[in-house]
Structure 1
Amino acid sequence: MQAVHFGAGSIGRGFIGDLLHDSGYQITLLDLDAGLNAQINRTHSYDLYVIEQDYRLKTIDRVRALSPLTDEPQAIAALADAGLITTAVWADNLPRIAPLLAKGLRERARQGKAKINVIVCENAVGNGQLMRQAILSQDLMSATELDACAAFPCTAVDRLVLGAQREGQQVINVGVDHELVIDLTELVHPDDRPIQGAVYSDNLASWFEKKLFIINGGHAWAGYMGWIYGEDIIQRAFARPGFLDQVKQTMGESAALIANKHGFALAELHDYLDFACRRFALPGLEDSVARVCRSPIRKLAAGDRLVAPAVQCQQAGLDYPHLLSGIAAALLYDHPQDEQAQELQCTIAEQGVAQALAKYSDITSGHPLAKEILAQFARLKEIKARHRR
């Protein structure tokens, strides 16, 4: 069985590639990193190290790597021959892989190949449909033609994966626990299970919101608040007195919402957030605040990890003060090398924070949350001025 995967980054190799390998696939990775591609192709393998098992080595073999730029004909041929296509490129990059994927799917259609699952493993609401729309925007296939040759099931994705160097080689340190939830109702054949070790659900929204609001929301809160306090490594932020308790309170607000909305047992959700916090703060690891915080405009969207649970908590009569401080902290994120952070700060400078909040989060001046977010923004701006120069 052949699988083609877009993106040989930490999630691509450390999570999706691992599952594809254990599912028995021969794997073709498509990535722009020429050095990494050369490393993989020397041995047709790469290495993972399982953190909680004393960094046990796991080698992923039966792998080759191609460049979407310099190896496009081979990449199109691989897509045409594949039994499964997956992605892990960050949601913002889906439009960038759409041209090549569209060409590959068009070639599959030309050859009369069977309809294929394109499993989009990105932390974004409706990730499968985002990929489908990006392909349609290439104008290489009509919607009818595309839907005849490919399905785009949505997913929820969770694993600790951290890039590292060992003996001059790029490797991935991975957490032992993981969760890939796939919407079985959107598969080509709902009775099939194309990836072993995944969870298949007919109610993906509940799983997705559980992970997005509790795990991703808590991690984002920690990152943006860590930036406010001058930290550049997320583990150092967690080591600050009282910081972990505040993260847990933030996640607890979202957990109460998820329990109320989807019927998960609150005690189980608190175990879930405790596990996540232990993972975030694992000793001996260093994960950058910049990585955790990147793309703040996407993370400030109305349907994303901070704004959506805050708004829904307000509507449900639940507590949400920590979520509001997370939104305010995200509005203050100004990393000079983060394109979205710089766009956000330009908007605030030119139009004011209230207009930025309305533009990016759909929270207008008359919204019940607006006044408190702006007050938190002013408070945190003063704190940031003392800790980050």
Structure 2
Amino acid sequence: MKALHFGAGNIGRGFIGKILHDNGYSVTFADIDAEIIDALNEDGKYTVHIAEEDGETFEVTNVAGVNTITDDDALKTAILEADLITTAVGVNILPVIAKSIAPNLAGRGNSPLNIIACENAILATDTLKAEILKHTDELDGIGFPNSAVDRIVPIQKNDNLLDVKVEPFYEWVIEKARWIGDARLDGVTYVENLIPFIERKLFTVNTGHAAIAYYGKTLGFETVSEAMTNEKVEAFLKDVLNETMLYLTSNYDFTEAQQLSYIEKIIARFKNPHLSDDLDRVGRGVMRKLSAGDRIMKPLIYLEQNNLSCNALTELAAYALEFNNPDDPEVKERDEQIAQLGMQEFLTSHSHLNDGLIQKIKEYL
């Protein structure tokens, strides 16, 4: 079986690529990074290191690379021969990927093909499918299941360019009904309704990461592991996640006991010293993280509207508004909009907050 994966970065190689390899797929990675693509073609393998004390190592073999800028013919062949196409490129790049995939689907024949966007976004495969449909309607025999993915892959520098360090925990959840064919993946959970799992991850892992980054920066910490040694950071993190738990248990079938257990696992992951990540990197993309449907504002708006406790999320929103990373272009964009519109109008238009909630946030600024 053959898989084509768009995105040869650490998530692609260390998470998605490894699972596909473990399921017997030969994996071709498509990317614009010529150095990584050349190394994949030269070595044909790489090693995944588990980030824990005496962590195991796993060799991923039977891999290759295709340069999406220069290798049009090789990319076309990889698409035509693929039994599975996956992505881990960032949701904003999906329209570009769609332009590469769409023209080559008509020549595939009738063999089953699943296309899955493994992105940190809600229903990303739907986004990719919509973009593909702008260029072709030849989608017979193709499944477009949405998925939710979760594995922390920190910034790292390894002796071998291709090697990747990843945390022990991972979760890949896929929509069962939209999967085409009988050849399902081991190591993956198939569910009828994906939304609860997407939002559980978004409002626990991602909201939690944001809380550590934005509050940790105010205390002068530089990395997640440094911040998580501080009692104030851990206490604030727990307060935030107890509030997002109210959102999750109110909207889905997760019980409080289930969510508390999940939170405990997530905090243990954040404390893993072998996974430490830079707070500036974790906090980047601040405009997206302040948007109405994302990790801070969506549960905050819900809790406020339903008269549920939301003090910690309100405080977190204030820290996000004060987050300063000069290397994040969204920090500049945020500051320019606030300077132009004022804080009140910015939070009204960008975050869709009401006046009462805006006033509560301002009290923390």
TM-score (norm 1): 0.88
Q: How does 1:121-270 map to 2 (within 5 A)?
A: 121-136=118-133, 139-141=134-136, 145-148=137-140, 150-189=142-181, 192=182, 194-270=184-260
Q: Shift of residue 162 of structure 1?
A: 2.5
1:51-107 superposed Cα distances (whole Å, 9 cap, x missing partner): 2361321111110011110112211210111000001112232233232122xxx32
Find the aligned partners of 1:329 and 1:193 in 2 and give their Cα distance: 46
Q: 1:374 to 1:148 in 2, by over 3 A?
A: farther
Give the 3-state SS of the residue equivalent to 1:277 in structure 2: helix
Q: Tell me: CA distance 1:284–1:202, structure 2 relative to 1, closer, same or farther (3 Å).
A: closer
3-state secondary structure, aligned to 1:165: coil
- Counterpart code for 2:358: A
CA distance in 1, matches of 2:294, 2:320: 12
1:167-193: CA deviations, max 9, x gaps?
A: 34342211222111111122235xx35
- For 1:373, the equivalent position in structure 2 comes to 361
CA distance in 2 between partners of 1:35 and 1:110 (Å): 30
> Does residue 1:87 correspond to 2:82, yes or no?
no
**Contact 2:5 2:86 survives alignment (8 Å):** yes
Deviations 1:341-362 (A, max 9, x none): 2211211121112222123222
1:254 offset after TM fit, Å?
A: 0.8
Tell me how far 1:149 sits from its aligned partner.
5.4
Distance 1:166 1:278 in 2: 24
User: Secondary structure at 2:151's aligned position in 1?
Assistant: strand
* Residue matched to 1:4: 4
CA change 1:53–1:63 in 2 (3 A) is farther
Residues 95/226 of structure 1: CA separation in 2 closer, same or farther (3 Å cut): farther
Does the Cα contact within 8 Å between 2:90 and 2:119 map onto a contact in 1?
yes
- Counterpart of 2:107 in structure 1: which amino acid? R
Number of aligned residue pairs: give it.
365
User: Does the CA contact (< 8 Å) of 2:223 and 2:279 recur in 1?
Assistant: yes
Letter in 1 for 2:115: V
More displaced stretch, 7-16 vs 227-236: 227-236
Please say if residues 84 and 194 of structure 1, whose CA atoms lie closer than 8 Å, have aligned partners that are also in contact.
no
| Matches of 1:327 and 1:150, distance apart in 2 | 41
Segments of structure 2 that go 5 or more residues without pairing to the other structure are none
Q: Give the Cα separation in 1 of the matches to 2:359 and 2:301.
A: 13
Alignment identity in percent?
A: 32
In 2, the alpha carbon distance for the partners of 1:296 and 1:237 equals 19
- The CA RMSD over aligned residues, in Å, is 1.9
Q: CA deviation at 1:318?
A: 2.2
Rounded to whole Å, the distance in 2 between the matches of 1:345 and 1:150 is: 44
User: Which shows bigger deviation, 54-63 or 333-342?
Assistant: 333-342
Q: Does structure 2 retain, via aligned residues, the 8 Å contact 1:257–1:313?
A: yes
Helix, strand or coil: the match of 1:363?
coil
Q: Which residue identity is paired with 2:12? A: G
| Residue identity matched to 2:76 | I
SS at match of 2:153: strand
Shift of residue 5, structure 1, vs aligned partner: 0.3
- 1:331 corresponds to which residue? 321
Answer 1 or 2: which has greater helix percent.
1
1:288 to 2:278 alignment? yes
1:110 corresponds to which residue? 107
Q: Is the 8 A contact 1:101 1:135 kept in 2?
A: yes
The one-letter amino acid of 2:14's match is G
1:291 Cα offset (Å): 2.1
Q: Distance in 2 between matches of 1:318 and 1:54?
A: 44
SS at match of 1:213: helix
- Alpha-carbon distance, 1:119 to partner: 0.8
1:160 deviates by 1.9
Show the 5 A alignment for 1:330-369. 330-365=320-355, 368-369=356-357
